[in-house]
Amino acid sequence: MNSWPNFYLPPLSNTSFPNLKLKDSSKGLLEIANSEVFKMYVCGITPYDATHLGHAATYLSFDLINRYQTLKNSSVKFVENITDIDDPLLERAKRDKQDWQVLATSQIDLYRSDMASLRVLPPENFIKVTDSMHLIEKFIKKLSNNGYLYELNGDFYFTVESFLKTLPISIEEAIAIFAERGGDPKREGKKHPLDPVIWLANVGDDPGWDSELGFGRPGWHVECTAIACEYLDDKTSNPIIDLQGGGSDLIFPHHFMSEQIVKAAFGREFARYYVHAAMIGLDGEKMSKSKGNLVFVSKLLSDGVDPMVIRWALLSGHYQDDRQWSGQLLIKAENEVNQIRVALAQSEVTDPTQMINDIVSDISNNLDTPNALKRLLNWSLKSNSDGNVNQSGAVSRAIDALLGLAL
């Protein structure tokens, strides 16, 4: 399906780009090796609600990676899925007495609009799960042929036990998290409590698809692995992709299970780096649907908030630090954006050459956007009193290219 319009990425002349360093969620800070092609898969939304600030913060993080690697002259192959068939979507549609496909389409359209407003570079391939059933069935067949699939009352499970040596947490903790995040560890008849369901037999009037496994729909994990491998696997690379990304709530079970499922299917590693963005809270509390305190990008935009102010506010905290959203943060971001715009409107500014190079260095150091914004603010204050070169355009191009800030 179509994603959203692309944005021009201004080239930065006379600027060197050190190798990007990112904090892998299990291995720590790693330097991204030079490569002609950088393959990135980011887990997309389940479209049953509008884009909230947690979503936005996550996708801004991987947008920065996309921008930096592109500016560094890597050809970025970026794939993102849309999980447009899942329990939360079906439950919301039933609750609101709405057709699930109509609901999904409306929320996908809203998501695309939000991402365009925030100037997130679109994925090269933006793939709906419902358009990928043939890929998923083919992938599941590999698991079955390799002996990693078993049937339980019409549902099919992946047997994960042989891969649990790499589990990053204790079995007890894993089972508890698995239950909280959609797993069914207590189901009788399973070979192991952590075995994830790969194919769900149809129940009642829920939507389903014909397959060799019977009429039903995919479980979790397998849809992302099937899509990622279809669009990013060159059949020889090991690992298959460079980076799998998402929110920190996907570390386990989703990304752990995705990694094991790919190993079982292909005998190769899935991703070289697993990178995760932290959570956004509201006024000291966790932001969640159950608490009813989600802040939606579309609502802020409809209230007249400048999308670049939203982007600035989210970039003002480090992407891997849990942080809070508040009205005060938004006001602060608006004031700081206005401060930068005043400086950029001047005919003469302080020479920005060193500042731009320092911002490049900040981004290369695990996306240190808070420090980058501080440098920009300090430069703007100096420019108000000590402007001597006509180079505001160089700053505009740099912060657009590196930070996605069109000011």
Residue pair 123/3 in contact (Cβ under 8 Å)? The answer is: yes
Q: How far apart are CA 15 and CA 249, in angstroms?
A: 36
Closest listed residue to residue 131, CA positions, set 44, 49, 66: 44
CA atoms of 304 and 298, how far apart (whole Å):
10
Residue 321 vs residues 59, 103, 275, 350: alpha-carbon distances, Å: 15, 32, 13, 32
Closest CA to 50 of 296, 317, 370, 282: 296
CATH no. for 21-281: 3.40.50.620
Q: How is residue 320 annotated by DSSP?
A: T
**CA–CA separation, 316 vs 312, rounded Å?**
6
Residues 72 and 364 sit within 8 Å (Cβ to Cβ):
no
Domain spans in the chain, listed from the N-terminal domain onward: 21-281, 305-403
Burial (CB count within 10 angstroms: exposed 0-12, middle 13-18, buried 19+), residue 27? exposed
Check whether the bond before 239 is cis (ω within 30° of 0): yes
In this prediction, residue 1 carries a pLDDT of 83
Pairing label, strands 285-286, 280-282: antiparallel
Q: What residues are paired with 244 via a beta bridge?
A: 41, 274
DSSP strands (E only) in 15-147: 21-24, 28-31, 37-42, 75-82, 125-128
Considering only CA atoms, which of 64, 52, 50 is closest in space to residue 280? 52
Residues 6+ away with beta carbon under 8 Å from 79: 40, 41, 42, 123, 124, 125, 126, 127, 227, 228, 231, 232
Nearby residues of 334 by Cβ (< 8 Å), 6 or more positions away = 306, 309
The two beta strands, 271-277 and 285-286, are unpaired
Query: Could you tell me how many residues make up the chain?
Result: 407
| Rounded-to-integer distance, Cα 97 and Cα 224, Å | 29
One-letter amino acid of 55:
H
Residue closest to 38 by CA, chosen among 135, 126, 139, 124: 124
Given this model, what pLDDT does residue 14 score? 87
The amino acid present at 191, given as its one-letter code, is K
Q: Which of 229, 217, 232 is nearest to 137 (CA)?
A: 217
Q: Looking at this protein, which amino acid is placed at residue 226? A: A
Pick the CATH number of 305-403 from 3.10.290.10, 3.40.30.10, 3.20.20.30, 1.20.120.640: 1.20.120.640
CA–CA distances in Å: residue 346 to residues 1, 89, 343, 385, 386:
43, 50, 5, 11, 11
Looking at residue 277, what DSSP letter applies? E
Return per-residue pLDDT of the chain as tens, 407 residues.
889 999 999 999 889 999 999 999 999 999 999 889 999 999 999 999 888 999 999 999 999 999 999 999 889 999 999 999 999 999 999 999 999 999 999 999 999 999 999 999 999 999 999 999 999 999 999 999 999 999 999 999 999 999 999 998 999 999 999 999 999 999 999 999 999 999 999 999 999 999 999 999 999 899 999 999 999 999 999 999 999 999 999 999 999 999 999 999 999 999 999 999 999 998 777 777 767 789 999 999 999 999 999 999 999 999 999 999 999 999 999 999 999 999 999 999 999 999 999 999 999 999 999 999 999 999 999 998 888 899 999 999 999 999 999 99
- Residue 300 is predicted with a pLDDT of 97
Task: Return the pLDDT at 290.
Answer: 67
Give the position of tokens 């679109």: 122
Q: What is the largest CA-CA distance in the chain?
A: 76
